[in-house]
Amino acid sequence: MIVRQLFDAVSSTFTYLLACERTRQAVLIDPVFEQHARDAALIRELGLTLVATLDTHCHADHVTGAWLMQRAFGSRIGLSPAYGATGVDLPLAHGDVVRFGDEALEVRATPGHTDGCLAFVSADHLRVFTGDALLVRGAGRTDFQQGDAARLFHSIREQLFTLPDACVVYPGHDYQGRTSSTIGEERRHNPRIGGAAREEDFVGYMRNLGLPHPKQMAVAVPANLRAGAPEDGKAPATPTWGPVVMTYAGVPEIAPEWVAQHRAEVHVLDVRSAAEYDGELGHLDGAQLVPLDELRARAAEVPTDRPVVVVCQSGKRSAMGAAILDKAGVARVANLAGGMVAWRQLGLPA
């Protein structure tokens, strides 16, 4: 199974991309709204088909990316029906099995942090995605959203601590840079529920956490009750001048075929050396030449009345060129994917 752990630094949320190596079918656990472009890029670049997003619970601290993923990939939206959220087309209950290619996740109900908390266990019981029920040396707070510490105690003990010692724990959050743990480790060392802790110990600890409410709570909960659909049903603005695709590396890219068909609508900036510009690969008709080494100092020479497409030999130096222009305040800029090499391979005019 392909397992990729992603992190949102604003809410300290972990998102997990899981996929079947053979069929490339994938699921995404706990996507974050603001990380949609990053997560979508990784799904595309790894050649995956997103079957579903699975939210471990209705989050109070960030908005889910479930709706954006469904809009982009047609993925189903999985969540417990306990919250009555709209837009959920994959209601998940204890005992369900979510299949993606040759892989499967077993759904376990772990209420306590919220009513509808779910954990997802791999078929071999060697990985568990615990959401906020069990965190690394911690546990999800139980002071709002139907939280119930006694219930969480039993969920962790009966649904999670019954997994093998070697089972890797992938938490929903971590606030101190820890990324994973194991069931055996948490059973021994979890300061809230490990060792010989009894229900009263856990409940007493949780009652006195004294955490302020999550900063985004007033926005996040209502949005998550719509599976992350914006109130007006409109997705955040993306570039309208052309089909710009953000890569996982964070580079805005545009396809050579589109540029060839819309040549007059864009300004082309070539950041190679003068010798390469007049060399074997040639250059796009009318391309402005500013070698990359000079671009920071000469950024003001690049006209911005049209969107700027940056080009080099293979699309690497031009990606840096696009970043330099972006930093210089050029709003509409993209890298020509694959550079002159791809342009010539496609037989486009130079």
Ligand X SMILES: N[C@@H](CCC(=O)N[C@@H](CS)C(=O)NCC(=O)O)C(=O)O
Task: Please choose which of Fe ion, ligand X, none residue 11 contacts, taking the beta carbon within 5 to 8 angstroms, the exact cut-off set by kind.
Answer: ligand X
Query: Which of the listed partners (ligand X, Fe ion, none) does 175 bind, with a CB threshold of 5 to 8 Å by partner kind?
Result: ligand X
Please state the closest distance from residue 13 (CB atom) to Fe ion, in A: 9
Nearest to 54 by CA among 11, 97, 115, 102: 97
Helix (H, G, I), strand (E, B) or coil at 111: coil
Interacting stretch for ligand X, rule CB under 6 A, among 34-42, 65-73, 135-143, 321-329? 135-143
111 binds ligand X per the rule CB under 6 A: no
Could you say which of Fe ion, ligand X, none residue 211 binds, taking C-beta under 5 to 8 angstroms by partner kind?
ligand X
Residue 262 half-sphere exposure, CB side, CA atoms within 13 Å? 17
Distance between CA atoms of residues 266 and 319, nearest Å: 17
Of the candidate spans 58-66, 148-156, 232-240, 249-257, the one that interacts with ligand X by CB under 6 A turns out to be: 58-66
Q: Residue 141: name its binding partner from ligand X, Fe ion, none (Cβ under 5 to 8 Å by kind).
A: ligand X
Site for Fe ion in 254-283 (CB under 5 A): none
**Per this entry, what is the length of the chain?**
350
Measure the CA–CA gap between 247 and 39, rounded to whole angstroms.
10
CA separation, residue 45 to residues 40, 41, 49 (Å): 9, 6, 11
Contact residue for ligand X among 31, 140, 242, 338 (CB under 6 A): 140
Cβ nearer to ligand X, comparing 173 with 317 = 173
In sign, the C-alpha dihedral spanning 26, 1, 55, 211 is: negative
Q: Mask of contacts with ligand X, 213-242, x by CB under 6 A? A: -xx---------------------------
Binding site partner of 186, from ligand X, Fe ion, none, Cβ cut-off 5-8 A by kind? none
Distance CA 115, CA 129 (A): 17
The token pair at 348 is 């486009």
